[in-house]
Amino acid sequence: MRPITKQQKKVLDFIKSFIKRNSFPPTLEEIASGLKLSAVSTVHQHVNALIHKGHLQKRENFARAIEIKKEAKISDFIEIPLLGLIAAGAPIATVERPELIKVPREFVVGTKKHHALRVQGHSMQDAEIFNGDIVVICEQTNIEDGGIGVALVNGKATLKKIYWEKTRYRLQPANTEYQPIYVKNKDLEIRGRLTGIVRSRFELVTKEGNLLPLTRTANTFDQRLQINNRRFIGNKSKLLGFISDIVAEKCGSYQSFCDIFAGTGAVANHFSRPGVKVIANDLLGSSYNSLKCWLETTTYDTERITGLISHLNNLKTSGQNYISKNFGGTYFTPANAKKIGAIREEIETLQVTPQEKAILLTSLIYAMDKVANTVGHYEAYRKTLDTTQEIKLLVPDINVQNNQNNKVYNKDANKLVREIECDVLYIDPPYNSRQYGDSYHLLENVVTWKKPKVLGVAKKMEERGHLKSKYCLKSAPEAFRDLILNAKTKHILLSYNNTAESKNTRSNATISDKWILETLKMRGKVDTFERDYKGFTTGKSDASGNSERVFYCRVTN
């Protein structure tokens, strides 16, 4: 186990003594009270650190879920060969450098041969397989459809979800930044199935068995939908660590966090935890619906939702419907378009609560993204319709324990900022003139389900004025200044990409750095943090030299 700080040791000792006295673990509130800590969020950070360092473990979806992690025994592990690298990106040649390592015995299935490979690349990160992790592979020449395994393509190995599509295989990454790899049947060889992972940020077990890695078995993969499992312009999922470090350094303890341009909710979800009120807002109805699912669900019947989603997945389609008539053969295959339309109609007829409806619609929106014949938005569709896998809805993995204090809005940010107060205000507005209402018109259409007339090649709704953001217009600088001057908060963080110089002026930033700094300095001292970042591009912009900046202001005025 990794060393811990003095404060973390106090928390660990308190948990041990509490369990010894009561025979059950304490809540975060009880730990805070027992150690006389004012903020439950501080306890949450210490508990997470103890989990990551191998001292605690947490049972998902249980109250009083903290447990002391038992020390590893030599008998709990088994030696297998580590053969080298496996690509989680473009296929690379595995490096045959056999050495023996110890992995949890539960990762080894029956009497079949197993080996380990070290992951190189980021294409499987949404399946929680990260660069540097070690994967355990059961050697076999077949795999269930959609299973994660090792495929050999032209003599090079890659780790992907493997789907069979009639005359070819589709090697599907678990990262929206990567495209699927299509391989003819004769050109692909399956070498094995994933059975477990050893996390890279923890030491491997020694031969004495005294170091315990953070591990995860393969049967827990892909059972639930995660909040970051979709493509979205400006999504900050890859920058959460960067943003979190700034908040930790500059803001200290806080009781409320507002993400006022929340989009998918990735940032708001990251800061959602017991004892903290998260406020999330977005102008788009489709984003608002998903925010209600991920951040405002405080309780739900998992078995009921699972049953409803299974029912929707098994619907039989017949005849044309609104989606198939307007979007079949372009954005989706005719079969998937029929299925989407049928599912959406069925959701309207189900006897469900508003919260259950938000969950079902979120599952549908995310499933549509997986089968959409697009590059991640709906301003256009790809000429070649080769995204042919069948649509499948998944049950969202919602952390209801973190959502007890949260509030979600569907308002103009400049109006909402006058109505709320928060400790930390995070601002991630549109950077350029590309309206999100145009980029995600199809999702708005599906969520609102008013079946309006659609126009043009892209089949956009005729009435979209209510979706237009002033931050994409020439009025953006004044709108930004109005927002900042009316914010009732202690800390302001603004994410703003420099967007460099673009071949298409629609991609140029609408607010200058000079204006941003002048405006923020009206409220207090400003610090700027910067990181190189490959942002979204439609193909017409030169993204080289782009960086993501976070402007921080401690509010004193």
Q: Which residues pair with 157 in a beta bridge?
A: 92, 152
Same domain, residue pair 163 and 91: yes
Same domain, residue pair 321 and 266: no
Same domain, residue pair 369 and 496: no
Give the tens place of pLDDT for each residue, 429-458.
998 888 998 999 999 999 999 999 999 999
Buried b / exposed e over 1-39, threshold 16 CB at 10 Å, is eeebeeebebbbebbeebbeeeeebbbbebbbebeebee
Same domain, residue pair 63 and 78: no
Pairing of strands 188-198, 215-217: antiparallel
Q: What string of pLDDT tens digits covers the 557 residues of the chain?
A: 567 888 888 999 999 888 878 767 888 888 988 998 878 778 888 888 888 777 888 764 445 667 787 655 555 678 888 888 887 765 544 444 567 888 888 788 777 889 999 898 888 887 778 888 889 999 988 888 788 999 998 888 899 999 887 788 889 998 878 888 999 988 899 999 998 888 654 333 333 333 334 455 444 444 578 898 888 988 888 788 889 889 988 998 899 999 999 999 999 999 998 889 999 999 999 999 999 999 999 998 888 998 999 999 999 998 999 999 999 999 999 999 999 999 999 999 999 999 999 999 999 999 999 999 998 899 999 988 877 889 999 999 898 888 999 999 999 999 999 999 999 999 999 988 889 989 999 999 999 999 999 999 999 998 888 899 999 999 999 999 999 999 999 999 999 876 544 445 555 678 999 999 999 999 999 999 987 655 544 444 444 556 778 999 999 99
Same domain, residue pair 256 and 392: no
Q: Is 105 exposed, middle or buried (0-12, 13-18, 19+ CB in 10 A)?
A: exposed
Beta strands in 188-268 (DSSP E): 188-198, 215-217, 224-225, 256-259
Same domain, residue pair 170 and 310: no
Distance from C-alpha of 219 to C-alpha of 329, rounded to nearest angstrom: 35
Question: What pLDDT score was predicted for residue 547?
Answer: 73
185, 169 in Cβ contact below 8 A? yes
Supply 96's token pair: 């045959």
Same domain, residue pair 50 and 157: no
Supply 329's token pair: 């053969």
Number of structural domains, the chain?
4
25, 13 in Cβ contact below 8 A? no
Closest CA to 522 of 495, 483, 548: 483
Closest CA to 306 of 359, 230, 228, 366: 359
445: left (phi over 0), alpha (psi -120 to 50) or beta: alpha
Distance from C-alpha of 83 to C-alpha of 140, rounded to nearest angstrom: 16
Question: What pLDDT score was predicted for residue 501?
Answer: 47
Active-site annotation, residues: 123, 160
Beta strands in 88-232 (DSSP E): 99-104, 114-120, 134-139, 147-153, 156-165, 168-172, 181-184, 188-198, 215-217, 224-225
Q: Is residue 290 part of a domain?
A: no
Dihedral pair phi/psi, residue 98, rounded to 5° = -60, 130
Same domain, residue pair 184 and 121: yes
CATH number at 32 reads 1.10.10.10
Question: What pLDDT score was predicted for residue 94?
Answer: 47
508, 501 in Cβ contact below 8 A? yes
Same domain, residue pair 183 and 325: no
Q: Is residue 544 part of a domain?
A: yes
Q: Is residue 160 part of a domain?
A: yes
Q: Is residue 448 part of a domain?
A: no
Question: What pLDDT score was predicted for residue 503?
Answer: 45
Beta strands in 282-406 (DSSP E): 395-396
Q: 3-state class of 526 per DSSP?
A: strand
Q: What angle do CA 104, 222, 218 make, to 5 degrees?
A: 15
Same domain, residue pair 212 and 115: yes
Question: What pLDDT score was predicted for residue 480?
Answer: 97
Structural domain for 338, as ranges: 296-396
Distance from C-alpha of 55 to C-alpha of 431, rounded to nearest angstrom: 43
Element (H, E) at 555: strand 547-555
Q: Is residue 101 part of a domain?
A: yes
Q: Which of 220, 253, 277 is the last residue of a domain?
A: 220
Distance from C-alpha of 442 to C-alpha of 200, rounded to nearest angstrom: 40
Q: Is residue 462 part of a domain?
A: no
Same domain, residue pair 53 and 83: no
Q: Is residue 418 part of a domain?
A: yes
Give the tens place of pLDDT for each residue, 202-252.
333 333 333 334 455 444 444 578 898 888 988 888 788 889 889 988 998
HSE of 65 in the Cβ direction (CA atoms, 13 Å)? 13
269, 227 in Cβ contact below 8 A? yes
CATH number at 116 reads 2.10.109.10
Distance from C-alpha of 544 to C-alpha of 548, rounded to nearest angstrom: 12
Supply 464's token pair: 């979209």
CATH number at 259 reads 3.40.50.150
Helix, strand, coil % over all residues of the chain, rounded to 5: 35, 25, 45
Q: Is residue 385 part of a domain?
A: yes
Same domain, residue pair 210 and 89: yes
